[in-house]
A and B are shown apart, each in its own frame.
Chain A
């Protein structure tokens, strides 16, 4: 036990108490082998469980390490396939790290036997959800025969939280970043915003799924505005609370800020929609939204419906097995490429003026790191340099904590289609060609493309050794 003097906000301690107990139980029960087995493996008969807490960069790290049997990624894969959590071919392609993360899937437990200490169904997914709920992260590393280390990163306090500032009726409101999924901005087409109604309840088609909408103005009790026709673009903040996703239609989105949460006075405490208030840089007060309260009050989705929908979706997913979500972009005048969305970590835009050089590569500064840029057409065999005089549209691909930016001419669309691949044109890096939106489009295998064009990126073992 190290770092006993590491202090944390009381609210955080409340939130991590149960997950932490669960992890320690797991480590003692599943991690550490029986004494005979340990001696046979040349280890001391007594197991060692280390609990370490320390501050690092405004966060608190908690490490739970055991010197037990470790977690076998192959066994995890096998188990996940058995339980139908992942497809066999997907499991086969998984890296060690990805395989380890299978343990966090809901419904996953490797415990062969249930003991009175652990393995009673409260899975690691609950641990992860609870930690993430307070803005933390869980990271697992393990070596077979040597032990397992679980690292939890949590914020020091819940009193300062990152939040997105939105406007409604000229007032600003803060939405905690933990609830934020994405922002959707929709330009009107012929005065329509693409919002449909199910018996009066507005919904929006977001990549094929119906997203229930809540108009922020109405949720705040302002008079109902003209919902249908607007000349200005529509801004939807996609929010997530308690397994429900819904869209909040706001007047405008400002910036993200770190805000200090102040509790509300007794006269306004009872309002479910607000979690507190904060004082903004200009001295004005802004209310902090309680996303769960808002969702409940607006009766976004009843839990029964949500569950049913998910079930029907998983059935649909097995029916149309090849249906995938693809990012379509143009490469030069005549070429289109589609990238499976699952291998895209972000889309970014950089000014050509921001491009610098490092060795033979064009690079940009990105989130405090250096991001190498590769024109995607080069990676696919053509030759050329980065286009100048305009914004660069970049698809960021990440693997094992390293990223590379692939420059495309233009990101065109995101489609969800069951594509039929014509493999006649296949070469390395291409899964094949397909007709998407009436155009012949190369479907890329990102891992191979990046591996061929920038082998240093994926040579993670070499990098890890250098880093170590």
Chain B
């Protein structure tokens, strides 16, 4: 196995689970930012952030993944990802390390997972101590697809 096929993931945690997105899609990771609420928007949209003059939409990944709500006093961190249509921030509980994983550790999501969830989490990498769930960024960004 060569290292050239290994992939690097930016990891973060949500409700006790470890998630990862390809580092290449991540623009930056920043701490909690003040944001402006967008009334009438989908509940996944938590607000708009001014990132050095750039307008960034903040999406709550807990809500996007249907996890439990974050405690009021817990301030989320932002994982800012690049998209075709500007930057979008994912609100997550905490930021983890950047990990390098060999492709042979990949396992697709079991069919027992709901189809809608499988689009979001196509599979996992088996790390030594836990599972790293891969987040499909494009699906996560598509708020309109949520029923």
Contact = CB atoms under 8 A, between A and B. Distances in A.
Contacts of B47: 285
Contacts of A287: 36, 38, 48
Given A277-B48, A279-B50, A285-B35, A267 B59 contact: yes
B39 A286 contact: no
A333 interface: no
Interface in A287-339: 287
B115 to A, nearest CB: 22
A271 B53 contact: no
A246 interface: no
Interface in A25-72: none
Rank and list the top 8 A-B pairs by shortest CB-CB distance, nearest first. Answer: A220-B39, A265-B57, A285-B36, A285-B48, A267-B143, A262-B55, A266-B85, A268-B41
A251 interface: no
Interface string A329-371: 0000000000000000000000000000000000000000000
A456 interface: no
A220 B41 CA distance: 10
Instruction: Identify the interface centre among B40, B44, B59: most chain A CB within 10 Å of its CB.
Output: B40
B25 to A, nearest CB: 16
Contacts of A82: none
B21 interface: no
13 contacts: A171-B36, A221-B39, A221-B40, A263-B55, A265-B56, A265-B85, A268-B41, A271-B40, A273-B40, A277-B55, A279-B50, A287-B38, A287-B48
A220 B39 CA distance: 6
Interface string B54-74: 011101000000000000000
A363 B35 CA distance: 47
B49 A285 contact: yes
Chain A interface extent, by class: 20 to 34
Given A271-B41, A285-B36, A285-B48, 7 more contacts: A171-B36, A264-B57, A265-B57, A265-B88, A279-B53, A285-B49, A285-B50
Contacts of B97: none
Contacts of B44: 267
Interface of A: 171, 220-222, 262-268, 270-271, 273-274, 277, 279, 283-287
A268 B57 contact: yes
B144 interface: yes
Interface string B25-55: 0000000001111111110110111100101
A404 to B, nearest CB: 45
A264 B57 CA distance: 8
Given A277-B55, A279-B50, A284-B50, A267 B37 contact: no
A262 B37 CA distance: 16
Contacts of B56: 265
A267 B36 contact: no
Contacts, number: 65
B121 to A, nearest CB: 20
A125 B35 CA distance: 43
A267 B140 CA distance: 11
Contacts of A222: 39
A273 B38 CA distance: 11
B57 A270 contact: no
Nearest to A216: B39
Nearest to A270: B144
B40 A220 contact: yes
Contacts of A268: 38, 41, 45, 48, 57
Contacts of B59: 267
B101 interface: no
B141 interface: yes
B110 interface: no
B86 interface: yes
Instruction: Identify the interface centre among B42, B49, B55, B143: most chain A CB within 10 Å of its CB.
Output: B55
Contact of A171 (B37, B86, B144): B37
A265 B55 contact: yes
Nearest to A280: B50
A273 B40 CA distance: 9
B50 to A, nearest CB: 5
Contacts of B143: 266-267
B34 A266 contact: no
Contacts of B55: 262-265, 277, 279, 285
Nearest to B47: A285
Contacts of A266: 83, 85, 141, 143
B85 A271 contact: no
Contacts of A262: 55
Given A265-B55, A265-B88, A286 B42 contact: no
